[in-house]
Amino acid sequence: MNIERDGDYITLSMGPHHPATHGVLRLEVTTDGEVISACKPDIGYLHRSIEKIGECLEWYQFVPYTDRVDYVCSMNSNHAWVLAVESLLATSPETKLQIPERAEYIRILFAELNRISSHMVGLGSITMDMGAFTPFLHALSQREYINDVFEKTCGARLTYNYMCVGGVNRDLHAGAEAEIREFLTGLEKAMKDFNRLISTNNIFKGRLAGVAAVSPEDAVSYGLVGANLRGSGVDFDLRRDRPYGIYDRFEFDVPLGRCYAGSKGKLGDCYDRFVVRLLEVLESIRICRQVLDQMPPTSGKEDDPVGGWCVAKAAQKSLRKPPVGEVYFRTENPRGETGYHIVSDGTKIPYRVRIRTGSFTALSIFEKLTPGLMIADLVALIGSFDIVLPEVDR
């Protein structure tokens, strides 16, 4: 930590190597005693120029890079990219792809499972930031089950490279449906335990209640998305309001923040964001069950329009000469809206790839939100926003 003194004010450099900043984030904090008077985020330590790399690779070759945009929810990042490319291809009848039904269901299933596992990391790490270590292990143990399922199907535990333009790389492994159902039943019980352990704990609640409340207007203006936006009570979820894929076939609720901490809390405080994430896990369980009920059985043939999982040949053909033009496609990721703005010049390499992520825009509100907070509350704020740094820097 570097400390500079200027009269009564101290300038403190928090990070880039700090356990509570969830990665390599540096915050330039000016404090008066323990109260923050200004805070400027300094990012770019993990800048891997993924947008520039996107301009050098063919459309399908970019999928593994989307894994690295947000490695806590690689499936969702894959999903966003392949949907964006498919929506570009769909604008011309010659290149439009007919994705097999089963592939659509597998995508939603894995996206929701990855949302659960990502939220478990988010929920676990905020409890650890607040000084409780045990709930973190409980949350992470659930994530391991999901990683096991993913590993059996696609061979990887963190960066999956599973979804591809035209479907998914391979079919679910034998017995996956039963395994996932069993896991979901276990997860429900584990969530109850987690709530008894920490969510309803008065010390934890008091630590987050009323801290760093974001008004609905600010949340919208500063581009908060996903659970952070809904924590402020703004009723917007891309899965419901601008459905993509086959999300319009499922029934689920959109949990909103409404001052869950009671009289000490405020709408849009850290505890609201925490609870919204908790409730979203339960909604994802609901979606997963509906997917498993509706999913057509495998036909054993890759490009079967119902029971297949990938139309690889058609996709390869379309990707050689995609339509000229641009799309902005957004999906609801665990950390909120992830948008891909793609400009195509009609060749097999994208002309411009722009990635808009939830964590990046969440950092833009720090300058406005932090004056008046205590330093210890800044840690609660970072944890409640569930920031993942590779997604910020890209």
Partner 1 sequence: MSPVPSRNQSRGKAQEFEAIFAKVLVRFPTAKTGSSPNGARWITVQPSEMLEVARFLKAAPEFSFDSLCCLTGVDLLKYPAADKEQEPCTDIVCVYDLHSMAHNHELRVKSSMPRENPAIPSVESVWGVASFFEREAFDLLGVSFLGHHDLRRLLMPQDWIGYPLRKDYVYPETYGGVELKREGQTFDSGPYK
Binding site for partner 1 (CB under 8 A): 40, 43-44, 47, 49, 51-52, 55-58, 88, 91-92, 215-218, 220-223, 233-236, 241-242, 254, 256, 323-328, 330, 337, 339, 341, 343-346, 348-349, 351-352, 354, 356, 360-361, 363-365, 367-368, 393-394
CB of 264 to partner 1, least distance (A): 21
Check: CB of residue 315 under 8 Å from CB of residue 303.
no
Cβ-based nearer residue to partner 1, 140 or 220: 220
Q: Which residues, including other chains, have CB under 8 Å from residue 168's CB and lie 6 or more apart?
A: 103, 106, 107, 110, 162, 309, 310
CB-based burial, 240-279: b 16+ in 10 Å, e otherwise: beeebbebeebebebbbbebbbeeebbbbbbbbbbbbbbb
CB of 26 to partner 1, least distance (A): 12
Cβ-based nearer residue to partner 1, 289 or 352: 352
Return d(Cα 377, Cα 383) in angstroms, integer. Answer: 10
Cβ-based nearer residue to partner 1, 58 or 188: 58
For 83, half-sphere exposure in the C-beta direction (CA atoms, 13 angstrom radius) is 25
- Phi, psi at 53, each rounded to 5°: -60, -35
What is the C-alpha R_g of the chain?
A: 21
CB of 240 to partner 1, least distance (A): 8
In terms of phi and psi (left: phi > 0; alpha: psi -120 to 50; beta: otherwise), the region of 385 is alpha
Cβ-based nearer residue to partner 1, 31 or 344: 344
Cβ-based nearer residue to partner 1, 237 or 303: 237
Cβ-based nearer residue to partner 1, 15 or 233: 233
CB of 253 to partner 1, least distance (A): 11
CB of 361 to partner 1, least distance (A): 5
CB of 37 to partner 1, least distance (A): 16
Cβ-based nearer residue to partner 1, 23 or 323: 323
CB of 248 to partner 1, least distance (A): 14
Cβ-based nearer residue to partner 1, 308 or 336: 336
Three-state secondary structure call for residue 16? coil
Neighbours of 74 (CB within 10 A): 27
Return d(Cα 311, Cα 309) in angstroms, integer. Answer: 7
Token pair belonging to 291: 């997917």
CB of 53 to partner 1, least distance (A): 8
Check: CB of residue 130 under 8 Å from CB of residue 207.
yes
Cβ-based nearer residue to partner 1, 180 or 229: 229
CB of 326 to partner 1, least distance (A): 5
Pairing assessment for the beta strands 26-32 and 167-168 based on DSSP bridges: unpaired
* The one-letter amino acid at 351: Y
Long-range interactions of 238-247: CB distance < 8 A, separation 24+: 238/330, 238/331, 238/332, 238/337, 239/332, 242/330, 244/83, 244/329, 244/331, 245/79, 245/83, 245/104, 245/107, 245/108, 246/104, 246/105, 246/108, 247/108
